[in-house]
């Protein structure tokens, strides 16, 4: 039986190499899974005295559904885009309420627009991130096939280690946060 690791294997690394995590990137879609990932990232930030870059990426409709967006006039596009940006800001502020006071100064919220995977990978590379901590919705079967997996793509292409946080199924259904 052949066994191959699904993640990257660190060769010839000492414990000193692993302990140097200065920046942690937490991509968020404001879901309970993202909240669970943020909680894990907070533990790492305390331990390594690291900063957390909290990133939400809004995928504009023209990228997600260009066929529909073509039929919307220019002024309506501007209004929709402004409203979406305002909504993202409000959602980020609400999400930040979960950050404990002792870590608030080390959490840097950022909003971006573009293709979600591309923006996450670009931020990780540009900012010299030492660890990405992200949630997963755990879709399976056709849902995974048709929707793809941002987490899976980031895991395969990231320039640094990725920690994937998944809630227990009963917590996902009940909407409770992971401990």
Distance CA 67, CA 61 (A): 9
Q: Is residue 12 part of a domain?
A: no
Residue 14 reports pLDDT greater than 70: no
Q: How far is CA 87 from CA 73, 82, 115, in A?
A: 21, 9, 18
Domain range for 142 is: 19-173
Q: Which of 78-82, 139-143, 161-165, 169-173 has the lowest mean pLDDT?
A: 169-173
Q: Is residue 109 part of a domain?
A: yes
Q: Is residue 131 part of a domain?
A: yes
Q: Is residue 114 part of a domain?
A: yes
Q: What pLDDT, on the 0 to 100 scale, is given for residue 73?
A: 81
Task: Work out the average pLDDT over 163-178.
Answer: 59
Q: Is residue 113 part of a domain?
A: yes
Q: Is residue 1 part of a domain?
A: no
Q: What pLDDT, on the 0 to 100 scale, is given for residue 169?
A: 55
Read off the pLDDT of residues 97-120 as tens digits, 9 standing for 90 and up. 989 999 999 999 999 988 999 999
Give SS3 for 111: strand
Read off the pLDDT of residues 19-62 as tens digits, 9 standing for 90 and up. 579 999 999 999 999 999 999 999 999 999 999 999 999 887 66
Q: Is residue 4 part of a domain?
A: no
Question: Please, what's the largest Cα pairwise distance for the chain?
Answer: 60
Give SS3 for 82: helix
Give SS3 for 50: coil
Residue 57, strand partner residues: 112
User: For the chain, how many structural domains are there in total?
Assistant: 1
39: CATH: 3.40.50.620
User: pTM of the entire structure?
Assistant: 0.77
**Higher pLDDT, residue 107 or 64:** 107
Q: Is residue 2 part of a domain?
A: no
**Higher pLDDT, residue 177 or 34:** 34
Q: What pLDDT, on the 0 to 100 scale, is given for residue 5?
A: 42
């Amino acid at each position: 039986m052949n066994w191959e690791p699904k993640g990257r294997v660190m060769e010839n690394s000492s414990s000193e190499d692993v302990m140097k995590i200065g920046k942690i990137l937490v991509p968020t879609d404001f879901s309970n899974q993202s909240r669970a990932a943020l909680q894990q990232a907070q533990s790492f930030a305390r331990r390594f005295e690291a900063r957390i870059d909290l990133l939400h990426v809004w995928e504009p409709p023209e990228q997600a559904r260009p066929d529909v967006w073509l039929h919307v006039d220019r002024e309506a596009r501007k209004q929709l885009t402004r409203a979406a940006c305002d909504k993202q800001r409000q959602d980020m502020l609400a999400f930040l309420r979960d950050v404990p006071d002792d870590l608030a100064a080390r959490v840097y919220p950022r909003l971006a627009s573009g293709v979600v995977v591309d923006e996450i990978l670009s931020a990780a590379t540009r900012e010299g991130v030492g660890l990405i901590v992200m949630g997963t919705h755990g879709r399976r079967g056709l849902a995974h096939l048709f929707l793809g997996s941002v987490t899976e793509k980031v895991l395969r292409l990231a320039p640094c280690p990725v920690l994937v946080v998944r809630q227990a199924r009963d917590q996902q259904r009940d909407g409770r946060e992971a401990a």
